Each structure stands twice: as structure tokens, then as C-alpha cells.
Amino acid sequence: MTQLASTIRALTFDVFGTVVDWRGTISEEGKDWEIELDWAALADAWRAGYQPAMARVRSGELGWTRLDDLHRMILDSLLPEFGLTGLSEEKLAHLNRVWHRLRPWPDAVEGLTLLKQKYVIATLSNGNVSLLTNMAKNAGLPWDCILSAELAHRYKPEPQAYRTACALLDLPPQQVLMVAAHEGDLRAAAAVGMPTAYVHRPLEYGPHNPKSWPQEGFDVMAQDFVELAALLAG
């Protein structure tokens, strides 16, 4: 670990699920909407549309489309099922921006603040730049820099998304640690030469669908961002 800690110069973070709790936030915010609805089920269905929507961009069926717009397409397709067809355009636009308002996991701000003392910390998310900027402002996430798949016009796990981020940081991939709660994201980062840190977020998909600790090993394995900072301190 000491070797890795002295090699790396920057950390790039997956955001949805790794830094912020999308399911918990959407469920919680639902209480304020005063609409009888299983908000956790809406969150799950919305998120379930995420990979298929990005696949349409990756395949070329859709030209480059920002995640805000993909989120809206998915939301529109879910309105009948969830009885939300009566919402005004203004309310739908506000609902769609719930992804800008996601709350960090309890350890995230403290861990990022510790890591920032020693390293450049940046997002590397499929979320668009404005989404990530608004989220950081809202949640107090202390990023040094907002990087996004939008800057490559390629969604993770396409290699160009990772390579563009390293190039913008002016660092070789070997000096940029990819941090994520998702094994596929880390495998794709490793394929371009980045070291990898797995952070466990067992409740990402809710208390009834706990994620298990991965079978596979990554360069760093941590329970949360505070432990990650401790592991990289020495």
C-alpha cells in the first residue's frame, strides 16, 4: 500500500452509488412530494434504465446525449407505470434534477476532505459536468476538479472515458487511482492501466438487496472513504 500511496498523484471517483446514495435520496425526497407512490421502486426502475440508455449511446443508435437527458427519457417512460402522468413540465424538470440533489454517504465528505490534503481528487462519472457541479455545491463535496464522461463524449466503461480524464489531469494512468463501488468500472479502469480502489457500499440497492464483498481483488479494498484515506496515508 505504501508503494501505491507514493506512486499515485490523483484519485478519480465514480459518483452514483460510490459517493452519493441515489436510492436513499430519491426515497427520502419522495416524502416531500405528497404523492402516494413507492419512491424506492421508482428509484430502482429509474436506475435500471441507466445501463440500457447508455448502451444506445455506446452503440451509436443515439448520438452523444448527456445523462440529464437520458434520465429524462427514462423518467418519461416510467410515468404511466407510476401514475405520474399528471405532473406539470415544471415539476417533471424538477424531479429529473433529483440526481443533482443526491446526498453523500455519511463518510464521503470527511473522507474526501482527508484525501484532498494529499492528492488531487476529481469526479469521473457518467453524470454530465453541470449535474456533478450542482451536486457538489449542494452536498459540499470538495472536488479539486469535475471530470466526466461528457468531456470524452464516451460513457464508462469505454476506455476513452478513463483515458480522457487522465490526459486532462496530465498524468499517466498509473498515477491515477480509480475509486468505485462497482467492479465493472474498476475492471475497465484497470484495462487502461489505472490502479483501482474498491469501496464497499452494501446498501446501494437497498436494505433488502445488500451487495456482497467482491470475490475479486483490487489494489485497495475499503469499507468507506475514511478507511480509504487511512490506507493511503501511510
Binding window for its own copies (CB under 8 A); candidates: 49-57, 141-149, 191-199, 221-229? 141-149
Q: How far is the CB of 223 from its own copies (least distance, A)?
A: 27
Binding window for its own copies (CB under 8 A); candidates: 104-112, 140-148, 178-186, 190-198? 140-148
Q: What is the DSSP string of 161-196?
A: HHHHHHHHHT--GGGEEEEES-HHHHHHHHHTT--E
Pick the closer one to its own copies by CB: 27 or 148. Answer: 148
- Which of 117, 102, 137 has the alpha carbon at shortest distance from 14? 102
Binding window for its own copies (CB under 8 A); candidates: 32-40, 45-53, 73-81, 126-134? 126-134
* 228, amino acid identity: L
Alpha-helix residue ranges (DSSP H) falling in the chain: 2-7, 22-30, 39-48, 50-58, 67-78, 89-96, 108-116, 129-139, 159-169, 183-191, 225-231
Q: How far is the CB of 79 from its own copies (least distance, A)?
A: 23
Number of alpha helices (DSSP H) and beta strands (DSSP E) in the chain: 11, 6
Q: What grid cell was written down for 150?
A: 461528457
Which of 120, 176, 180, 186 is the binder for its own copies (CB under 8 A)? 120
Which of 109, 151, 190, 221 is the binder for its own copies (CB under 8 A)? 151
134: contact with its own copies by CB under 8 A: yes
Which of 62, 79, 171, 221 is the binder for its own copies (CB under 8 A)? 171
- Which of 105, 94, 100 has the alpha carbon at shortest distance from 66? 100
145: contact with its own copies by CB under 8 A: yes
- Catalog residues that contact its own copies under the rule CB under 8 A: 66, 68, 120, 122, 128-130, 133-134, 136-137, 144-146, 150-151, 168-171
